[in-house]
A = this chain, B = another copy of it.
Amino acid sequence: MSEKLPIALDAMGGDYAPAAMVDGAIQAAERGIAVTLVGREDQITKELVAKAGKNWHVLPLNVVHAADVIGMDDAATQVRSNKQLSINVAVNLVRQKKASAVVAQGHTGATLVSALFGLGRLAGVERPAIVANFPNAKGRVTLVDVGANADNRPEFLQGFALMGAAYTSTMQGIPDPSVGLLSIGEEEGKGNALVNETFDLLKNTPGIRFFGNVEGRDIFKGTVDVVVTDGFTGNVVLKTAEAEAKVLVGWIKEALTGGSWLVKLGALLVRPALRSVGAKLDPAEFGAQPLLGVKGLVFIGHGSSDAKAVYSALANAQKAVDANLLEKVAVKLEGLTKKLGADA
């Protein structure tokens, strides 16, 4: 493992930073994943000593100092002016080939800006996109973009489709994933102006197996492997779906604990079975979502990430490094750059 580059973890971003980040990094390091913790050295070292003892450096962990951190309410544009922000230092480690990937649970907009300006876009990419992947009736589904782009053009979505397909084949092991375009009707011509223009583009995009339009229900039915949408709709869908799962699980818990003693006995007996369903839905199992389209691997986690979520994010990032996700995405986009070249 020693020849592997570490993953740069922004240890200062997120609701439970730096404690949860240090904890998650230790869990990852114990499983052989090398991590560079980026942030205030004194705070991080103190946490490391408290949690892994004075000999913490026998683990594949190191600390790179960054004096500042961007607050959740700060403007993302601060990233442009302050080189000492932990997210900028982390991104810089990837640019300098001192880290294989960035994992960040802080200010999403700041991470986007830092990655975009620190690493630059891959050839053929109009806009980077955030990719989510979650369980559905038939296995898992990839949804892209889930929030990097509020206003969109058809060419953006064309890139999302290619990046989503590359992600799904590389990370989910589906060789030639089907790609659906999220709309409000299945037939060609149903949907808004953006969808209709994008439909025409995707029909003629080499490198994807385009299924056609899909509807909201198809995300959970598992009609296609990849669902492409603008970052506004995708973000709303992702956040709605997460909250719905939480509310439904809460109702079930309430129903099982609020009833008669017979119901309570039954609840005791079914608890392990229900726990497996709960685990399926736990975002902490997932950890973080990749930002694709920049020249480096960047994973964005929930602000509310606990140590388990941080560990999952690091493990997921290491899996992407080992699977060569960045190169696979770049290759997938080559069709577009060639087409662009031919057009010119």
Q: A220 near B: Cβ within 8 Å? A: yes
CB nearest to A149 among chain B residues: B192
| B251 and A277 form a contact (CB under 8 A) | yes
| A247 and B137 form a contact (CB under 8 A) | yes
Known contacts: A256-B270, A273-B259. The answer to whether A192 contacts B150 by CB under 8 A is yes
Chain B residues with CB under 8 Å of A218's CB are: 243
Q: How far is the CB of A276 from chain B (nearest CB, A)?
A: 6
Known contacts: A255-B274, A269-B262, A272-B263. The answer to whether A236 contacts B192 by CB under 8 A is no
Q: A280 near B: Cβ within 8 Å? A: yes
Per-residue CB contact flags for chain A residues 233-255 toward chain B (1 = under 8 Å, else 0) read 10111111111111110111001
Give the number of times this chain occurs in the complex, counting copies: 2
A265 to B192 Cα, complex, angstroms: 50
A255 to B273 Cα, complex, angstroms: 5
| B232 and A184 form a contact (CB under 8 A) | yes
Known contacts: A233-B236, A243-B216. The answer to whether A269 contacts B273 by CB under 8 A is no
Chain B residues with CB under 8 Å of A39's CB are: none
Number of interface residues of A (CB under 8 A): 61
Q: A201 near B: Cβ within 8 Å? A: no
Most-contacted residue by chain B among A236, A250, A269 (CB, 10 A):
A236
Q: How far is the CB of A99 from chain B (nearest CB, A)?
A: 29
A151 to B259 Cα, complex, angstroms: 47
Known contacts: A221-B243, A238-B216. The answer to whether A251 contacts B263 by CB under 8 A is no
Q: A59 near B: Cβ within 8 Å? A: no
Chain B residues with CB under 8 Å of A241's CB are: 216, 240-241, 244
Q: How far is the CB of A303 from chain B (nearest CB, A)?
A: 12
Q: Which of A297-330 contact B (CB under 8 A)?
A: none
Q: A49 near B: Cβ within 8 Å? A: no
Known contacts: A184-B150, A192-B150, A240-B220. The answer to whether A248 contacts B262 by CB under 8 A is no
A252 to B220 Cα, complex, angstroms: 15
Q: Which of A201-216 contact B (CB under 8 A)?
A: 215-216
Can you name 5 A-B residue pairings with CB atoms under 8 Å? Answer: A136-B247, A184-B236, A219-B243, A220-B244, A240-B240
* Other A-B pairs, 16, CB within 8 Å; known A216-B243, A220-B247: A137-B250, A151-B192, A184-B236, A215-B235, A216-B240, A217-B242, A220-B240, A232-B233, A241-B244, A244-B244, A244-B245, A245-B248, A251-B277, A262-B269, A263-B273, A267-B270
